[in-house]
Structures are given as structure tokens and as C-alpha cells.
Structure 1
Amino acid sequence: MVRRWALVLVLGGVWWWAVLRLLLAPEHAGLVEGAVAAGGWGLSLLPVHVTATARHGRAAKAGRAGPSRKQ
């Protein structure tokens, strides 16, 4: 868990560094800064519902995601 948060903080710091470098010193910013900033912005466009969620209740115990259908 700690490693995950450390990775998130490092990647977030790299993204902010790239964005601030593009905004404050665009004449010194290069392709790497542009790619990092655009990549981070693109990830922010992913909808929240694509992340994994935990299932609760009887469906989780039975191994089913939704209501059962009798045939």
C-alpha cells in the first residue's frame, strides 16, 4: 500500500513538473515534457466507472455479478 502511494506521488510530481515547465519556460521545454503532460491529462479523461469495484452481498458469495436468470 505504501509503495502504491509513493508511486502515485512520484508520478504526480513528474506530471506537475512537466506542466509547470511548459507554462513557465516553454522555450526550454521539450518533447518529453509535452508527452508527460499530455499523457497525464489523457489519463484524467478516463471515466471513473472503469476502475475495479468490490462486490457486496449474496452475489459476491455466489460468484455472480448480477441477478440470476432462470431458464
Structure 2
Amino acid sequence: MKNQDIVTAFKKSTASQGGGQDCVEVAHTAEGGRAVRDSKNRDGGIQFYSAGGWAEFVAGVKAGAFDV
């Protein structure tokens, strides 16, 4: 990724708002990718994903690839 500028506020999933403890927050980057951080440790670091990488991850979630 060339541009890791975060251009939106971090948001937590609405599914996590009801007291979920294991949450991440996601923000958009300037190049269309995503920045992800742990909502319980916001200063612990940020992971950056390209737009294509994020799209593949979301498709995998929707397809159940990460269901346990």
C-alpha cells in the first residue's frame, strides 16, 4: 500500500455494540483500503489492507470461510 492515510473515523460493527467484548474497528484509507484496530487497545497498532485484499476478506466472511 502506498497511501495509508486514514480518511474516515474508525467504526465498530453495529453487531458489536450490544456488549461484545472481542471487537475491531474499521476505517477507510485514502486509496480505498481499510485500517483495522482492536477496540479494546486502540493504541496497540493498526493493520492496513488494500482495497482488493479487503474485498476478498469480506467475500470470504460472507461465504462462511471463517466459520468455526
TM-score where L is the length of structure 2: 0.28
Larger relative contact order, structure 1 or 2 (CA cutoff 8 Å, min sep 6)? 2
Greater fraction of residues in helix: 1
TM-score where L is the length of structure 1: 0.28
Larger Rg: 1
Greater fraction of residues in strand: 2
